[in-house]
């Protein structure tokens, strides 16, 4: 939460694991968006239940987990200290750009919406999904490029320092992180009927390509002497929090390590998820092929028996005629 250029109106206590759970700021646009999104999803599951249709509990748990993660990133102590410590902001960044979109994708919100929305809103959603804009934005190479370029543009331009001075831009950057993550991960997850879905080998390739990106960018941030955020963090040391704030360069080094390690960890987790999906898809396809072959074999056997029976009946009929 921003409180003015170069410092806070009120001094925050020393950042610890405990302050993540005690320093909440619940009045924000993020809290409204999270509550509204959660309410809409639960309304959809309730509609499914009332009409007797089954909606997997695991999908609901995954989506609610994404909302909890979004709340932790923006409303808890992570959100309170995200402009005080770059390392805290980096943890927030990774949650919003990777963990939240992945968990949302597992919840299949588009599929739920298509099954529960009334006629006109459902048609609007279908039009949006089949629009040229949706096809362009979900084009895998473009989504991959946006996912890769966004952090470089954020931390190595004037974008990030501007977010430290302007609340609106700060909030919009959080939203941007989630949206770019959704554009990249949702088609790769392949659960919702979105344009841009590709085969499993290409999905795994794109995911694996993100791993060296996180490593390289993390090392770059750790190694550089220029402070991300300019004079913002050194200025905080001149205020009442200077007694406990770590050195800005040390904190930036930690932020780079968080980007590197968490990016690779979440990326590898996603690779495992994709591989499991691929195995299940291949197994299901093999079972369908087996059933098709069994049906074909049974049909050919029936035809052979019918032909044999016809061959027996025909000579018998000829003998009767004689």
Q: Say if residue 322's pLDDT is above 70.
A: no
Q: Say if residue 3's pLDDT is above 50.
A: no
Residues 133-169 as b/e (b if ≥16 CB within 10 A, e otherwise) read ebeebbbbeebbebbbebbeebbeeeebbebbeeeee
Q: Say if residue 317's pLDDT is above 90.
A: no
Hey, which of 37-51, 179-193, 301-315 has the most confident mean pLDDT?
37-51
Tell me, rounded to whole angstroms, the distance of Cα 244 from its chain centroid: 35
The total of structural domains in the chain comes to 1
Half-sphere exposure of 188 (CA within 13 A, CB side): 33
Confidence label for 8 from pLDDT (cuts 50, 70 and 90): very low
Q: 């410590």: which residue's tokens?
A: 85
Tell me, rounded to whole angstroms, the distance of Cα 72 from its chain centroid: 16
Q: 């390690």: which residue's tokens?
A: 261
Q: Say if residue 7's pLDDT is above 70.
A: no
In a domain, 67, yes or no: yes
Residue 44 sits in which domain range? Answer: 17-321
| Among 215-219, 260-264, 305-309, the least confident range | 305-309
pLDDT computed for residue 5 by the predictor = 42
Q: How does pLDDT run across 126-175, given as a tens digit for each residue? A: 999 989 998 898 888 899 999 999 999 999 999 999 999 999 999 999 99
Q: Say if residue 25's pLDDT is above 80.
A: yes
Confidence label for 285 from pLDDT (cuts 50, 70 and 90): low
Mean pLDDT of 34-50: 95
In a domain, 49, yes or no: yes
pLDDT computed for residue 243 by the predictor = 85
| Among 15-24, 50-59, 103-112, 308-317, the least confident range | 308-317
CA dihedral of 89, 259, 141, 188, whole degrees rounded to 10: -90
In a domain, 300, yes or no: yes
pLDDT computed for residue 216 by the predictor = 92
Distance CA 183, CA 148 (A): 12
Residue 185: is it exposed, middle or buried by C-beta count within 10 angstroms (0-12/13-18/19+)? buried
pLDDT computed for residue 278 by the predictor = 78
Q: Say if residue 315's pLDDT is above 80.
A: no
pLDDT computed for residue 284 by the predictor = 67
In a domain, 80, yes or no: yes
Q: What angle do CA 253, 254, 259 make, to 5 degrees?
A: 100
């Amino acid at each position: 939460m921003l409180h003015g250029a170069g410092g806070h109106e009120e001094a925050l206590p020393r950042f610890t694991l405990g302050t993540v759970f005690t320093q909440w700021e619940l009045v924000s646009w993020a809290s409204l968006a999270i509550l509204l999104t959660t309410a809409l999803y639960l309304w959809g599951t309730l509609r499914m239940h009332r009409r007797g249709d089954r909606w997997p509990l695991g999908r609901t748990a995954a989506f609610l987990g994404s909302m909890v993660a979004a709340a932790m990133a923006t409303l808890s102590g992570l959100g309170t200290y995200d402009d005080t410590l770059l390392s805290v902001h980096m943890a927030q960044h990774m949650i919003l750009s990777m963990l939240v979109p992945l968990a949302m994708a597992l919840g299949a919100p588009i599929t739920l919406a298509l099954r529960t929305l009334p006629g006109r809103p459902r048609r609007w959603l279908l039009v949006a999904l089949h629009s040229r804009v949706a096809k362009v934005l979900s084009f895998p190479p473009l989504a991959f490029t946006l996912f890769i370029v966004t952090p470089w543009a954020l931390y190595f331009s004037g974008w990030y320092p501007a977010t430290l001075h302007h609340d609106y831009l700060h909030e919009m950057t959080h939203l941007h992180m989630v949206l770019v993550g959704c554009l990249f991960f949702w088609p790769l997850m392949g659960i919702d009927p979105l344009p841009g879905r590709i085969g499993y080998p290409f999905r795994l390739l794109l995911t694996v390509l993100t791993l060296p990106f996180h490593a390289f960018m993390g090392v770059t941030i750790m190694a550089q002497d220029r402070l991300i955020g300019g004079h913002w963090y050194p200025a905080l040391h001149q205020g009442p929090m200077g007694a406990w704030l770590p050195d800005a360069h040390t904190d930036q080094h930690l932020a780079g390590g968080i980007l590197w390690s968490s990016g690779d960890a979440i990326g590898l987790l996603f690779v495992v998820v994709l591989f499991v999906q691929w195995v299940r898809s291949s197994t299901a396809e093999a079972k369908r092929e087996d059933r098709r072959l069994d049906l074909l074999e049974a049909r050919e056997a029936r035809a052979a028996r019918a032909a044999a029976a016809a061959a027996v009946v025909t000579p018998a009929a000829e003998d009767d005629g004689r």
